[in-house]
Amino acid sequence: MKKPELKLCGNRSVQDWGTVRMSGADYAGFIFAPSKRRVTDEQVANWLSDYPPESIKIVGVFVNPELEDLAETVSKVPLDILQLHGKETPVFAAKVKQMTGKPIWKVLHHGEDAQDDMLLFRGIADGYVVDTKLPGQWGGTGKRFDWGAIPGYQTEANEQHVPLFIAGGINPDNVNELLKFHPDGIDVSSGIESSEQKDEYKIKRMRERLG
């Protein structure tokens, strides 16, 4: 069984970026949306210029963005993937993809309609992230959803030939339980932090669990 890919999200300082850049993770995420982990175009552009990514891919996270704002960020920051984390429609996602030429990952908030939403994004989304749904919050909750639902999401992702990442409440202590469901990827933020900074030791433990 192929080990899942690892995305370390919510990097909010050059120190975070330095830690994650050397961690061996597959993806580093930066949040360009209202959040305690929000960063600016200029910050990320400078960090990536001063400390260029080598093998790690850069994911920009957006929540219900205006097309113009998103295009401006893409023009300034060398993003590999655009992650849409709000209520963006398939039509909007298709416009973003056409305008930027970048792969699109769509975040689904776990619930009874989430698998139906995957069908709507078929042929548009290049990957999915399933996160926990909490009132008034788009992500970064540190709360997990019912992982028993993962096989249904994974089956649909497999049929679409795109990866499925699981987010929400994952940490080095519970990731072994998550691995029993064989997701394509794991998206973690608060679970590898201490004192609101990325923790090298926690990241190392997480990677050891993934094998």
Give the distance from CA 134 to its chain's centroid.
17
Q: Number of structural domains, the chain?
A: 1
C-alpha closest to that of 7 among 143, 208, 207: 207
pLDDT value for 141 = 56
pLDDT value for 142 = 66
The bridge status of strand 197-198 relative to strand 81-84 is unpaired
Q: Residue 143: which pLDDT band, with cuts at 50, 70 and 90?
A: confident
Residue 147 pLDDT greater than 60, yes or no? yes
The residues, any chain, with a CB within 8 Å of residue 155's CB and separated by 6 or more, are none
Residue 168 pLDDT greater than 90, yes or no? yes
Q: Residue 2: which pLDDT band, with cuts at 50, 70 and 90?
A: confident
Average pLDDT value for residue range 55-64: 97
User: Distance between CA atoms of 132 and 56, rounded to whole angstroms?
Assistant: 25
Residue span of the structural domain in which 103 resides: 5-210
Average pLDDT value for residue range 59-84: 97
- Compare 101 and 138 and report the one with higher pLDDT: 101
Cα within 13 Å of Cα(166), Cβ side: 26
pLDDT value for 91 = 98
User: Distance between CA atoms of 172 and 40, rounded to whole angstroms?
Assistant: 29
Residue 5 pLDDT greater than 80, yes or no? yes
CATH number of residue 21's parent domain: 3.20.20.70
C-alpha closest to that of 45 among 83, 73, 5: 73
Residue 70 pLDDT greater than 60, yes or no? yes
Average pLDDT value for residue range 41-56: 96
pLDDT value for 19 = 97
Residue 103 pLDDT greater than 90, yes or no? yes
Q: What percent of the chain has pLDDT over 70?
A: 95
User: Distance between CA atoms of 189 and 168, rounded to whole angstroms?
Assistant: 8
Across 94-205, the runs of DSSP E, i.e. the strands, are 104-109, 127-131, 164-167, 185-188, 193-194, 197-198
SS3 state of residue 169: coil
